[in-house]
Amino acid sequence: MKKQKTSYTNKKDVKRNWLSVNADGCVLGRLASQIAKQLMGKNSVQYTPSVDVGDFIVVYNAEKVILKGNKEDQKIYYNHSGYPGGLKETSFKQMQEKKPEYIIMNAVKGMLPKGRLGRQMLTKLKVYRGENHKHDAQKPIELNLKN
């Protein structure tokens, strides 16, 4: 009986695709979990936990993402300057007006692995407010993540 060799995916063997996601009307947590799976490459046959095999993802219409229940009124983002009394609180509605890109980036970041590999995966996520983005030259494939 012949032994089969297990193949190990190397960084140079990975072929990445560009995907685009319309966040209009999507629930934040569900959208973020599906984006995190794509960034990690869990949908790929080549998936290896210690290698970044995921795709590039462009998310547009970030300001139109929604939350279910009372979370829209209750969710608060915290930021600390490092000095005593330097804690700042920002509600979801304020953050949606000021920095809607941060909302999606923060949600996806929490679902990626912690450490060097997770930070590397997060660099492949591009989030934009509105319909326009600067990655048309990469010809991203539209990914339908509506739930």
The verdict on residue 79 lying in a domain is no
User: Which residues are CB-contacts of 109 (< 8 A; sequence separation ≥ 6)?
Assistant: 118, 122
For residue 90, being part of any structural domain is answered with no
**Enclosing domain of residue 110:** 16-67+98-143
Check if the beta carbon of residue 118 is closer than 8 Å to that of residue 49. no
Which pair of tokens denotes residue 66? Answer: 């929604």
In a domain, 113, yes or no: yes
- Residue 130 within any structural domain of the chain: yes
- Residue 123 is given by DSSP the state T
Please give the average per-residue pLDDT across 45-59, as a whole number: 94
Tens digits of residue pLDDT in 58-91 = 999 999 999 999 999 999 999 999 999 999 999 9
How far apart are alpha carbons 39 and 22 in whole angstroms? 16
Indicate the number of domains in the chain: 1
Residue 38 lies in a domain: yes
User: Would you state the structure tokens that stand for residue 38, as one six-digit string?
Assistant: 């794509």
Instruction: Compute CA distances 6 → 3, 31, 108, whole Å.
Output: 9, 33, 31
pTM (global) more than 0.85:
yes
In a domain, 104, yes or no: yes
- In this structure, how many other beta carbons lie within 10 angstroms of the beta carbon of residue 46? 14
Residue 138 lies in a domain: yes
Q: Measured between alpha carbons, how far is 36 from 57 in angstroms, rounded to an integer?
A: 10
Mean pLDDT, rounded, of the chain: 94
pLDDT, residue 147, reads 61
Residue 32: CATH number of its domain: 3.90.1180.10
Q: Residue 137 falls within a domain, yes or no?
A: yes
